[in-house]
């Protein structure tokens, strides 16, 4: 019987977060720190012909103004005759996007640095630029990791009696986490310590070693708390190298913090996507062909793909399929991964098209999905390690009251408001990455656990404490878990919803190894009641090592450790995905049912009710898990109805780089949201039986909302966000 796993558990770091004890990157106190403020380019492409820093340098408190003319070297110099690329900041006079850093003003105070930054004068030689993906679709390159086509989609489409074809568009979306990106860097001789807002301390360490030309072992990256990121800190951003370079040149600590506006070109974004979907079925609605062609932008200097069509190939049983992604370069900063990358964009198009198909066939949208339900992975033909999507559909429809839905658009009302009911499916990978954890168990019955993972908000501190306490037989307050430091064992980035499966498996493995070592120590005493018992048959509980289900056969752990002269036991455990996984396809699934109310005079849409059902293996902490899913729904509402980064293509500048004009949901936008889990007993996926859920929660939401809006109004909006003017 589990003591903690599966039980609602409040955050172990909750009090630290609400009392201000939890330190975020910019809050570390470093003596004699200088403050850096960025100057950004105002053209999208070209070169800097002159940069005048004299007035800025003569201003009170200014220590130095770094530009490409005097900055320390970062990365390798371009080979002779090669054009410089923008891989490291302040390394050439080239400008690759509007909002690129072109100077760093360092001063004694933040206010002095910000004031002086406004006095830097720059002259440019601008070149023609293009920031509009729609105009370069013909130049798009096929993504190298595209899913393989199945069957003969062209022939199958031609033969299909029922066809729908449509194009869907998603604008650029920006992560706007509460904590702005920041770094504080200081050198002690040739040793660098850097506090950075990151989702992977080890990748920042590697990045800085390359950029600064120093051994990785000389660099310590620290990131104990991250105030939201969800992809914005997966890749090393440009500011840590800039901060470390400035600190090395000035021989003193330097702190750089983005402003809200600087965040819009400082860490990537969800790319602009254009998708063309064609579905062909027989008269009964069974899919014969699925062609899903996606395009999105990258920058002119770096290839990036969010694998938009990666999961759409595994959703429905369809013998003939092609889902190519093509990527085109424009003069913007490089995109990056943003919560549910690829999946939420790809599924918006596929699930909207499925709804259009249901109307073409005059059958219920849920019925259409059941007709095309995939019992095995349509891509590989492998069985699923577990798949409870059918149960998600059944439970969601029952809870929502789907059977009372009138199929006809504009047929349901609440007073003068049009009522719409829509649904969609969601899918995400159930991934596990190699990870390591260190566990130290002490004779006084306390334990320390460490792994260089991250906690961007999902509750990593809590779930790792729960796992350690469960397998060491301790109370939560006897376990101390630490993360976010390159002095700890290596862990993967916190992304892809794989942290619990990866790092959690390592913590479990270390705890079980300690159990086995204690058994070996206990059995040095020939009179031990555990003689001849296998390590897999014993457990630690409340200070005793005992045979599972036979508590009478036990020894006191503290006594065993005292007798053998052991003060503590430390184990570092490396966990990897099991070879067994290769025989199966592993995915997490879900179903979303959404109600909207639309004012026909104003075109305003309110999402009044959401029921989200999720099947993602075992739920270790239901309290945190429901919170994760609700957060995913809220983000999906923002993506569907509000979020869009507006680019002025004449200048290549982002016109709404602030939270006044980049709209995200507020409390008044959010009504009833219910999240339900269908637990799966999956022994294949990882030892804990968990699947990722952090991204899954938003995957089907934008499509479900668009489908509900169509049901309410009879208008099919294929371009997000669904704003009032599109409905009027």
Helix ranges, 493-536 (H): 499-522
Contacts of 677 (CB under 8 A, 6+ apart): 613, 614, 615, 616, 619, 622, 625
Of 242, 239, 219, the residue nearest 73 (C-alpha)? 242
Axis-axis angle for helices 460-472, 499-522 (nearest 10): 20
325 within 8 A of 146, measured Cβ to Cβ:
yes
Written as six digits, the tokens of 672 are 């009833």
Using CA atoms, how far apart are residues 685 and 386, in angstroms rounded to an integer? 9
The Cα 714–Cα 251 span in angstroms is 65
Other beta carbons less than 10 A from residue 138's beta carbon: 7
List CB contacts of 14: < 8 A, sequence separation 6 or more: none
The C-alpha angle with vertex 190 and arms to 185 and 193, in degrees rounded to 5, equals 25
Residues 6+ apart with CB under 8 A from 467: 5, 504, 507, 508, 511, 620, 688
Q: How many whole angstroms separate alpha carbon 308 and alpha carbon 233?
A: 20
Among 21, 24, 25, residue whose Cα is nearest residue 185:
25
Number of neighbouring beta carbons within 10 Å of residue 476:
17
Q: Determine whether 695 is an active site residue.
A: yes
Report whether 157 contacts 289 (CB < 8 A).
Answer: yes
User: CA 279, CA 560: separation in Å to the nearest integer?
Assistant: 67
Residue 102 CA, chain-centre distance (Å), reads 29
Token pair, residue 310, equals 């990666």
The residue annotated as part of the active site, out of 571, 643, 680, 695, is: 695
Catalytic (active-site) positions: 695
């Amino acid at each position: 019987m589990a003591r903690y796993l599966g039980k609602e558990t409040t955050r172990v770091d909750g009090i630290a977060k609400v009392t201000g004890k939890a330190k975020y990157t910019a809050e570390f106190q470093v003596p004699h720190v200088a403050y850096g403020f960025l100057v950004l380019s105002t053209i999208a492409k070209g070169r800097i012909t002159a940069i005048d820093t004299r007035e800025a340098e003569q201003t009170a408190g200014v220590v130095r103004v770094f530009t490409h003319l005097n900055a320390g070297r970062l990365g390798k110099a371009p080979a002779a005759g090669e054009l410089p690329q923008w891989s490291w900041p302040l390394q050439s006079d080239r400008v690759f996007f509007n909002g690129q850093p072109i100077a760093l003003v360092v001063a004694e105070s933040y206010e002095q640095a910000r004031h002086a930054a406004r006095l830097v004068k720059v002259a440019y030689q601008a070149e023609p630029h293009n920031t509009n993906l729609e105009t370069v679709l013909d130049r798009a390159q096929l993504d190298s990791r595209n899913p393989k086509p199945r069957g003969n989609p062209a022939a199958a489409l031609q033969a299909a009696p029922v066809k729908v074809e449509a194009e869907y568009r998603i604008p650029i979306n920006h992560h706007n986490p509460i904590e702005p990106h920041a770094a504080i860097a200081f050198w002690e001789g040739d040793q660098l310590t850097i506090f950075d807002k990151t989702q992977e301390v080890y990748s920042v360490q590697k990045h800085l070693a390359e950029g600064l030309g120093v051994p990785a072992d000389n660099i310590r990256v620290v990131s104990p708390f991250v105030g939201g990121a969800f992809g914005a800190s997966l890749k090393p951003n440009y500011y840590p190298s800039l901060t470390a370079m400035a600190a090395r040149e000035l021989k003193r600590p330097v702190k750089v913090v983005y402003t809200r506006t600087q965040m819009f070109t400082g860490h990537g974004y969800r790319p602009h996507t254009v998708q063309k979907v064609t579905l062909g079925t027989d008269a009964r609605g069974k899919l014969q062909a699925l062609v899903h062609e996606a395009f999105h932008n990258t920058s002119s200097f770096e290839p990036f793909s969010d694998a938009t069509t990666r999961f759409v190939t595994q959703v429905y049983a369809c013998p003939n399929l092609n889902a190519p992604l093509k990527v085109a370069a424009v003069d913007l900063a490089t995109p990056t991964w943003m919560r549910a990358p690829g999946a939420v964009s790809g599924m918006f198009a596929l699930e909207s098209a499925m709804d259009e198909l249901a109307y073409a066939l005059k059958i219920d949208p849920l019925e259409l999905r059941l007709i095309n339900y995939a019992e095995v992975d349509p891509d590989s033909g492998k069985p699923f390690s577990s798949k409870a999507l059918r149960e998600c559909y059944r439970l969601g429809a029952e809870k929502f009251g789907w059977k009372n839905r009138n199929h006809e658009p504009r047929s349901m009302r609440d007073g003068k408001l049009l009522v719409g009911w829509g649904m969609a499916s969601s899918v995400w990978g159930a991934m596990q990455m190699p990870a390591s954890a260190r566990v130290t168990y002490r004779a006084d019955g306390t334990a320390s656990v460490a792994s260089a993972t991250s906690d961007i908000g999902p509750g990593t501190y809590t779930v790792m404490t729960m796992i350690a306490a469960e397998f060491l037989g301790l109370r939560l307050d006897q376990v101390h878990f630490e993360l976010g430091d390159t002095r700890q064992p290596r862990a993967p980035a916190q992304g892809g919803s794989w942290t619990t499966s990866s790092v959690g498996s390592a913590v479990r493995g270390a705890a079980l190894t300690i159990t086995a070592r204690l058994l070996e120590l206990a059995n040095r005493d020939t009179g031990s009641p555990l003689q001849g018992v296998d390590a897999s048959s014993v457990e630690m509980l409340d200070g005793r090592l005992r045979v599972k289900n036979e508590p009478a056969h036990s020894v006191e752990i503290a006594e065993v450790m005292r007798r053998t002269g052991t003060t503590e036991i430390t184990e570092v455990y490396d966990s990897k995905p099991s070879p067994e996984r290769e025989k199966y396809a592993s995915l997490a699934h879900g179903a979303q049912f959404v109600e909207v109310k639309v004012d026909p005079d104003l075109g305003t849409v309110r999402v009044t009710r959401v029921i989200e059902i999720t099947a993602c293996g075992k739920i270790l902490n239901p309290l945190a898990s429901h919170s994760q899913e609700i957060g995913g729904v809220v983000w999906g509402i923002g993506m569907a109805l509000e979020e869009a980064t507006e680019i002025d293509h004449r200048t290549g500048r982002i016109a709404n780089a602030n939270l006044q004009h980049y709209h995200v949901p507020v409390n008044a936008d959010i009504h009833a949201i219910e999240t339900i889990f269908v637990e799966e007993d999956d022994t294949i996926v990882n030892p804990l039986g968990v699947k990722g859920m952090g991204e899954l929660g938003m995957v089907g939401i934008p499509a479900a909302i668009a489908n509900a809006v169509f049901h309410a109004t009879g208008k099919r909006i294929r371009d997000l966000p669904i704003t009032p003017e599109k409905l009027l």
